Structure 1
Amino acid sequence: MSAVRNAPPSIVSADMAVHGDILSAGEVQIDGAVKGNIRCAVLTVSKSGTVEGEITAEQVMIHGRVDGRITGRKVRLTATAHMDGDVINESITIEDGAHFSGNVSNAKTVAARDAQAGDVPAAAAAPAPVARLATRDQQG
C-alpha cells in the first residue's frame, strides 16, 4: 500500500466536469466540477473546485465550494471555502471568512447515538478507512 501513499494526487482539472462518483485509495484534488459522491483518503477542493455530492475521506481540505455532506476524520474549511451541508468529523477547523451553512457533528457521538437507537452499527457511522480500497494493481 506504500505505493499509493507516494503516488501523486488524482486531479480533476479546472477545465473538467465529472458527473458520477469518484473512488480512490489515495489523494484526490478537485480543481474543476464534480456532481457525484467522492470517497478517498485525502481530498482537496481548490478555490476553483466545486463538489455537489457527499464526501467521505480521512482528511478534507476545502478552499472552493461544496454542496453536500462531508464525513471525515480531519476537516478544514479555509477562508475561501463555501460549504452548504452537514459535517460529521473528529476534528474540524473553520477559518475566518469561510462560509458554512449546516450542522457539525462529532463522528463518535453520531456513531454512539445511532448504535443506541439501533439504526446503524457503531462502526458504520464513523468514516470508513479508505486505505483498504483496492487499487487497480491490487485487483488482479
Structure 2
Amino acid sequence: AAYIRSLSETWSTLVTPGKSMALLYFAGCQFVIKTLRSQESKFLKSIMFGYYKHMQNNPNSLLPRFYGHHCLTSLSNNKQIRFVVMNNVFQTDNIVKIKYDLKGSSYGREATEVERQRDDCIYKDNDF
C-alpha cells in the first residue's frame, strides 16, 4: 500500500552527477525512482534471480531493495522509458558522513581532488 501511495504523490527530481545522467525521482521519503538505459535494464533483468536469492538469504544486506522494474511506452511516439523503484538508502536516522558510488570497477573510479574538497563529495570504488 505504501508503494502505490508513494507513486501517486508529488515527486522531487534530481539529475545524477554520473555519466549516465539518469534521473532520480524521490517519491516521498521512502522510495527512489531511477531511470535506466536499455542496456542497464537488460543487465538488471539478467541478474534479478540471483539478486532475489541473495536478498532472501541476507535480509540485512546493504544492497538497495528493488520493488519494481518497469517500462512505459509513449502512445504518441513509441518512446520507451525504463525505470526501477527502490528503497531510499539515505532515509535513515543515522548520520551519513561519507557517501560512496560503488560500481564494481576500478577504471576511472576515484574522486578528483576538487571533488574531495567539497563537503558533499561522493567517493568512488578506488577511494574505498
Higher share in strand: 1
Q: What band does the TM-score fall into relative to the shorter chain? A: under 0.3
Which has the higher Rg, Structure 1 or Structure 2?
A: 2
Higher share in helix: 2
- Higher RCO (C-alpha under 8 Å, 6+ residues apart): 2
TM-score, reference length from structure 1:
0.24
